[in-house]
Copies of this chain bind each other. A is one copy, B any other.
């Protein structure tokens, strides 16, 4: 199998951390790095693999492709169920999905929009609205506050166990540093951050 990814981008990092936590070795895959700034992901060839143009993409040996980070993670969750990162009961699967989506919609997405609309990194291919970007950065900061309160009572984002929701939050928080958004001295969020960053998977 082959993975198309971009080393610095947050979504491919989510997949790399997920695989590391599963004990799946990245060296078992062929890896192709795409330069998003250069538009490698907009080529006609890549569009046949993912018409939406995003990374990561998982290419199976028969040539068919799977995209969307969480869809790829869900594939490996099913084929490598231990340790579970997306829950192992109806209720835990649902609660973890809830927390992961909160991290996506209220943290990773605002950070990504703040990045794109304040830096104009992809202004060669999309309209840029700097005021909207600044507003999204404020939303991400509010989520830092929310998470600091939430993590006063919880060891991990979705409760007692490390899950995909921690992976999404970590990838978002580290990517936010690119636009100088930092978690700062929020004690509970900082303690969680230190805990999840110390796991070997964080370096994946």
Contact = CB atoms under 8 A, between A and B. Distances in A.
Nearest to A94: B75
Which one of A74, A94, A97, A135 has the greatest number of beta carbons of chain B within 10 Å?
A: A94
A135 B126 CA distance: 9
Chain A interface size band reads 20 to 34
Contact of A94 (B51, B74, B89, B98): B74
Contacts of A72: 94
User: Does more than half of chain A's interface fall in helix, strand or loop, or is it mixed?
Assistant: helix
A189 B42 CA distance: 24
Contacts of A146: 51
A74 to B, nearest CB: 5
A193 interface: no
Interface of A: 51-52, 66-68, 70-72, 74-75, 78-79, 89-91, 93-95, 97-98, 101-102, 105-106, 127, 129, 131-132, 135, 146
